[in-house]
């Protein structure tokens, strides 16, 4: 799932099912996110998850996600705490809160939907 979110070749509209409560207003931010990673040399990335635990909402899982940069990229890997919600079909989505942090939505402004 995180690979698709970070992939600039995947259109933002195709990424909507990967985020809880995502809507058409999120497409531009998702497109910008993938482009920003690629433009700054972070594509392709790989991801590892550590410290998995049930979230306060027992249906969700929290994890420390390690984003690994491509070989030869200076600046190194980074970690980001993320929460994932279970979907009705048994899959997983990035929670709205984690997506808002990841996509740097202005906290003083209502996130687009």
Q: How many independent structural domains does the chain possess?
A: 1
59: which 2 tokens? 């249906």
Rounded Cα distance, 8 and 3, in Å: 10
61: which 2 tokens? 């899982």
Q: What is the pLDDT, as a whole number, of residue 110?
A: 47
Q: Whole domain around residue 82: which residue ranges? A: 2-102
Q: What CATH number is given to the structural domain containing 97?
A: 3.10.450
For residues 72-90, give the mean pLDDT.
Answer: 88
Rounded Cα distance, 6 and 33, in Å: 7
Residue 79 pLDDT level (bands cut at 50, 70, 90):
very high
**Radius of gyration, alpha carbons of the chain:** 14
Give the list of residues 6+ apart from residue 30 with CB closer than 8 angstroms, or none.
Answer: 5, 12, 15, 16, 19, 103
User: Could you tell me the pTM of the whole model?
Assistant: 0.84
Q: What is the pLDDT, as a whole number, of residue 108?
A: 38
């Amino acid at each position: 799932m995180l690979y698709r979110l970070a992939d600039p070749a995947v259109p933002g509209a195709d990424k909507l099912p990967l985020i809880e409560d995502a809507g058409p207003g999120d497409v531009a931010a998702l497109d910008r996110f993938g482009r920003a990673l690629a433009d700054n040399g972070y594509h392709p990335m790989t991801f590892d998850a550590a410290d998995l635990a049930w979230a306060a909402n027992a249906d969700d899982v929290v994890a420390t996600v390690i984003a690994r940069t491509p070989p030869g990229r200076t600046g190194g890997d980074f970690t980001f705490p993320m929460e994932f919600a279970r979907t009705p079909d048994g899959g997983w989505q990035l929670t709205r809160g984690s997506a808002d942090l990841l996509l740097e939505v202005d906290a003083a402004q209502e996130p687009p939907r």
